[in-house]
A and B are shown apart, each in its own frame.
Chain A
Amino acid sequence: MAEKRSNEVDGAFVEEGSVAGGSFVPVLRVPAVPGLFSEEGGATVLGNKCLACGTPYFPKAAECHNPRCGESRMADCAFGGKGVIWSYSVADFPPPPPHKFDKPFKSYVIGVIDMDNGLRMVGQMVDPLEHVRVGAQVELVVDTLYHEEGKAYTSWKFKLV
């Protein structure tokens, strides 16, 4: 399979396919798990927030889990934007199922990001290890995780700003 890159200019739901004879082949972009994140109006993950104590949740929590919170008042909330790298690690070997990846396996960085929106989030980094530093600024993006049956399956990731 030819090298594929996500098309950030179009942003939306197609990615640049293999260039056969110079023609552009759109590839359908599908979320790896539906309902968790969105690309419309900028990348966001879909969680919620307790209006009583301000605790943010991703994925959504049915009730607030804060034991110091007097009441649980949950409201849906889309979290996106920027943050800083708290720390990171590398998947030097493929994780076990249910993880899916394009073969041959290529190691990737996993960032733990303190977002301006109040979440400390885990996600793959788009950038290679050499460029990743603790404290560096990143933004939430939606990017391809793996390909299957001609479709590009996406997830939220982080990208150095």
Chain B
Amino acid sequence: MREVSVLGVGVHRFGKTGDEVVGTKSVTELCRHAVQMALKDAGVSWGQIEAVAAASSRFSGGKGWGLNGNDVVEDIGSTGIPVYNLSAGCAAGGNAFNVGYSLVAGGIHDMVLVVGGEVMPKGMIQTSGVEEATDPEFLRQRCVGMPGPSFWATLARRRMFDHGTTEEQYARVTVKARKCSVGNPHARFQKEISVADVLASPYVSNPLRLFEICPVSNGAAAVVICSAAKARQFTGKPVTVATSTVATIDFTDALPRGLAGPVPTGPSFHTEAKAAVMRAFERAAIGPRDISFTELQDNTCYYELAFPEEWGLCEPGEAQALLDSGQTTPVGRMPINPSGGFVSFGEATTAMGVWQIAELTWQLRGQAGARQVPDAKVGLAQTNGLGGNATAAILKR
């Protein structure tokens, strides 16, 4: 295995269809911006890219929405290079990064572009297209009726029982996240909000409120990665990929994802995310307490409290005390989502795992401005995707 470096990163600011940021731009236009920015940042030309790993939400046969890496390559200029389209729900960006990383680490290619981008469809996403009794998602919706956020609300409610977390503490996670987003030029929301604002927003699924759940956004991100040897030709201070991992759910997972499962024997939550992060710690020989800051998938504020505990960044039940004492801010001892997180960006599904790599890179270079984590040395990124997918990456300087 060769050491892999991040050479250049680029992001198209996140926004909502029709706004001043993304307007009516297609996913290819958003990606073009991100890719050109990453190429410029890396100091390489398009012709030097040897392969593309793209996070794709496009279904076979051209159905569905979203990115197809071939469109990006055709748009910028068809050079005949291999294009890998990776699909893993919201974890696709992390999966694409993992494949790009593996191609470079394994010596197959020296210089790889990883790209993800999304123009989200309007309205509520229908998770099931067929009315068939054999489709578990159809059964879940017809026989129970579970709006998307209800899964998160169930977890948030259980946490209130297990650890005494209050609705105000959930609100304060959002307040902290939005404070981080101020001055982040790529965030969709860049304004502070108050606890009162959050608590005044309606319940989407009690106990979670509108401002505590990330909306869908349009956006794109790209990173250029290469072998460490190659990177030294371009820069004296490359950011190193300590590792990149992918995992899927374990049979023992305790969370209610379908209609029913066996009553679990222990608290095995988010087994896919935990496995990805634990593998990352092991492979990089970096422990949870060595992490300077974390960018994790906060589809809802609950995850800013739950994930750090599940991964050993802090003790079980401790995260809310760390939140209350300001330790999860960029200047605290356990900074979580200094970018502002999904709650401030909105989720442009396939862009997220790639965008996190860009955020980690800016932090490790000391280029993160107002959201800079002082003396950031090691960053952890994590995504989760429908279907039981998860990814993790650790970057260091």
- Residues of A at under 8 Å CB distance from B? 32-36, 45, 47, 55-59, 65-68, 86-101, 108, 110, 112, 114-115, 118-124, 129, 134-135, 145, 155-156
- Measured in the bound complex, the distance between the Cα atoms of B205 and A56 in whole Å is 29
Q: Contact check, A89 vs B206: say whether CB atoms are below 8 A apart.
A: yes
Residues of A within 8 A of B202 (CB): 92
Q: Nearest-CB distance from B194 to chain A (Å)? A: 22
Closest B residue to A112 using CB positions: B256
Q: Contact check, B141 vs A99: say whether CB atoms are below 8 A apart.
A: yes
Which has the most chain B C-beta neighbours within 10 Å: A33, A66, A67, A94?
A: A33
Count A/B pairs, Cβ under 8 Å.
Answer: 136
Q: Which 8 A-B pairs have the closest CB atoms?
A: A89-B153, A87-B158, A90-B206, A99-B145, A58-B260, A134-B161, A89-B150, A121-B260
Asked if B233 is at the interface of the complex by the 8 Å CB criterion, the answer is no
Q: Contact check, B259 vs A59: say whether CB atoms are below 8 A apart.
A: yes
Q: Contact check, A58 vs B150: say whether CB atoms are below 8 A apart.
A: no
Q: Contact check, B146 vs A95: say whether CB atoms are below 8 A apart.
A: yes
Closest B residue to A109 using CB positions: B206
Residues of A within 8 A of B1 (CB): none
Q: Which of A88, A100, A155 contacts B157 (CB 8 A)?
A: A88
- Measured in the bound complex, the distance between the Cα atoms of B15 and A98 in whole Å is 29
Closest A residue to B258 using CB positions: A122
Q: Which of A98, A115, A129, A134 contacts B141 (CB 8 A)?
A: A98
Q: Contact check, B157 vs A33: say whether CB atoms are below 8 A apart.
A: no
Residues of B within 8 A of A57 (CB): 260
Q: Nearest-CB distance from A57 to chain B (Å)? A: 7
Q: Nearest-CB distance from A63 to chain B (Å)? A: 13
Given A87-B158, A96-B124, A145-B143, 20 other A-B residues pairs in contact with their CB atoms under 8 A: A55-B262, A56-B260, A57-B260, A59-B136, A86-B256, A87-B157, A87-B161, A88-B157, A92-B202, A92-B206, A95-B146, A97-B141, A98-B131, A99-B142, A110-B146, A112-B154, A112-B256, A119-B263, A134-B158, A135-B161
Q: Contact check, B150 vs A155: say whether CB atoms are below 8 A apart.
A: no
- Measured in the bound complex, the distance between the Cα atoms of B351 and A153 in whole Å is 41
- Contact A118:B263 (CB < 8 A) given known A124-B144, A135-B161, A145-B143: yes
Q: Contact check, A122 vs B157: say whether CB atoms are below 8 A apart.
A: no
- Measured in the bound complex, the distance between the Cα atoms of B144 and A35 in whole Å is 15
Q: Nearest-CB distance from A70 to chain B (Å)? A: 14
- Measured in the bound complex, the distance between the Cα atoms of B205 and A95 in whole Å is 11
Q: Which of A91, A98, A120 contacts B205 (CB 8 A)?
A: A91
Q: Contact check, B139 vs A36: say whether CB atoms are below 8 A apart.
A: yes
Q: Contact check, B203 vs A95: say whether CB atoms are below 8 A apart.
A: no
Q: Contact check, A33 vs B139: say whether CB atoms are below 8 A apart.
A: yes
Q: Which of A89, A115, A155 contacts B143 (CB 8 A)?
A: A155
